[in-house]
Structure formats: structure tokens, C-alpha cells
Structure 1
Amino acid sequence: METLERLSITEDVRRLMARYVRYADHQRWDDLANLFTEDGTFTPHKPDGSVWLRMNGRDEISATVGASGGPGVTLIHHLFSDEIDVDSATSARGVFAMEDIVIRPEDAEVSEAIPFRRMHGFGHYHARFVRTDGSWRIADLTQTRTRLDFSN
């Protein structure tokens, strides 16, 4: 593969992940889910390495990630320091350092399911990308955590 093609794919993947965090911040859950392949997966982990949950397919990703938003919720995501490996003209892998902040309204109920009003997290996205029908999509996204801070 030529250098120019490899660089073009790298930039396409960067832009795909930039859309992912922008759609999350604006709570555009269906748009976010459509960045995945139809059978794509999203698996966030806890800081101890255990699986928090696993989502399979666009509908489940949209509904589950969308449940974290809601009226008055502020979401902030940042990506840093990407490492993208181009495997072929239709396949790539990447690791993106990340930081996210979730701020729920002062009157939001704190429960066992959502035990915080404010969360500040750090970690990495590990992704596998495929090009189908001329567009890059996320086939598999795993979020690992190095730290999560909660406050009420």
C-alpha cells in the first residue's frame, strides 16, 4: 500500500472518531450508532478491567448509550494521541486516549445504576474499523478505563 493511501485512511479514521465524540456530546444517539457496522459492538470496561456492559448492533448501541443522556445532562468527550494501524484498504485498527465528563442536573436522582451526579473519566478507546460500501465504520469499539472519579 502506498504512503498516500495509508495517510488518507488514517485521516478518514480520525474523522470518524471525531464524529463519534461530537455526536455523543450532542446526544445524537442514532447518528452515533450509524457510525458502527450493522452488527458492530461497543464494550465499555470498568477501571478494574471488568466488562461494564456489552452492546451489540446499532439499535442496542443507540438505546443503551442514549440512556446515559437526557434532559439537563452535559456530556463532554475528548480524544488524544491516536495510534492508527492500517491493515488493508478496507481494514484498520486504532487506539485513542480519551477523557470524558458527564454532568447530571442537581436534582437528578442518584441510584445504584447511576451513582453520581458528576463523572470524570480517563482511558482509551480500542477500535477495529472496516470500509464497507465506500464508508469507514466502527466494527468493534472497546473502552478501557484508567480512572473514574465520581462526585455528588
Structure 2
Amino acid sequence: MKDIETLTALEEIRLLEARYARYADEKRWMDLAGLFTVDGTFTPQDAEGRPLLVMSGRQEIAETLTSVNGGDVTAIHMLFTPEIEILSPTTARGIWAMADLLFRGADAPPAAEGLPPFRTMRGWGHYHVSYEKVDGRWLIAERVQTRTRLEFE
């Protein structure tokens, strides 16, 4: 790949991740799921490295995130310090430092299985992501969320 192609790919992936965080904060779960490949996966883990959920495919990602974040839930997602490696013209991988806050009001659905009941969650960790370029567009093929710390109130 030429330098300009690499730089373009890096910027397109950064914009993809910016949309991911914004769609999550806006509770636009179908749009967020559309950032994944058709068979993409998303696996958030707890601080001990145990999977909390394993979501496969756009429909399951959208339905699961809707069910655990519906009602009176406000989310704030932040992504930092991307380490992106372009592997080929159509594949890449990245690691993003991340932090998130979840605020759950009285009308919030039950917390995801494996999490204690909570009103506020503060989390820190990393997203480990594999990307694929499909029909000229970078998408998330696999996303694993690792945690360095989770706090609940």
C-alpha cells in the first residue's frame, strides 16, 4: 500500500470508531450494529476476563444492546490512544483505550447477566478490534472489550 492509502485507511477507521461511540451514546443500536460486518462479533468482558456477553451478527448485536440499555439508561463512551495496524488493503487491527459510564434510572432494564445490580457503572479498559474493508467501507469484524477496572454503585 502507498503511504496515502495507509493514511486514508487509518483515518477511515478512526471515523468508524468515532461513530461507534456516538451511536452508543445516542442509543442508535441498529446504526451501531451496521458498523459491524454481517457476521461480526462483540464480546464484552468483566475485569477478570470472563465474557459477559457474546454477540454474533448485526441483528443479535442490535437486539442485545437494545435490551440491556433500553429505558432509563444513559451511556457515555470515550475512546483514546488508538493503536491501528493496517495489515492489508482490506484488513486491519487496533487497540483503543476506553472508558465508559452507565447511569441507570428507575425505569432501566435488569443489568446484563454477570453484572451486579447497579445505578452507576464506571469502567476502563481496551477494545481489541479486527477490521475488514467490505465494498469500499471499513467495518468491525471482531470487537473484544477487556476491562482493567469496573466500579458499581
Displacement, 1:71? 2.5
- Residue matched to 2:17: 17
Say whether the 8 Å CA contact 2:72–2:106 is kept in structure 1.
no
Alignment partner of 2:132 out of 130, 133, 140: 130
For residues 78-103 of structure 1, give each alpha carbon's deviation from its aligned partner in whole angstroms, at most 9, with x where no partner exists. 00000000001111100000000000
CA–CA separation in structure 2 for the residues paired with 1:64 and 1:92: 26
Say whether the 8 Å CA contact 1:110–1:117 is kept in structure 2.
no
Alignment partner of 1:117 out of 111, 116, 119: 119
- Residue matched to 2:50: 50
Structure 1 length normalisation: TM-score?
0.94
- Residue matched to 2:5: 5
Q: Partner amino acid for 1:122?
A: W
| Structure 2 unaligned spans of 5+ | none
Aligned length: 151
Displacement, 1:111? 6.7
CA–CA separation in structure 2 for the residues paired with 1:99 and 1:60: 23
CA–CA separation in structure 1 for the residues paired with 2:133 and 2:120: 36
Q: Partner amino acid for 1:40?
A: G
Say whether the 8 Å CA contact 1:38–1:57 is kept in structure 2.
yes
Q: SS of the residue aligned with 2:141?
A: strand
- Residue matched to 1:66: 66
Q: Partner amino acid for 2:27?
A: Q
| TM superposition outliers: structure 1 runs of 4+ over 6 Å | 109-112
| Structure 1 unaligned spans of 5+ | none
CA–CA separation in structure 2 for the residues paired with 1:44 and 1:7: 29
- Residue matched to 1:144: 146
Q: Percent identity?
A: 50
Q: Partner amino acid for 2:66?
A: G
Say whether the 8 Å CA contact 1:33–1:59 is kept in structure 2.
yes
Say whether the 8 Å CA contact 1:110–1:116 is kept in structure 2.
no
CA–CA separation in structure 1 for the residues paired with 2:112 and 2:91: 39
Structure 1 stretch displaced more, 64-73 or 137-146: 64-73
CA–CA separation in structure 2 for the residues paired with 1:135 and 1:94: 16
Displacement, 1:72? 2.3
Q: Partner amino acid for 1:15?
A: L
Give 1:33-44 correspondences, 5 Å limit. 33-44=33-44
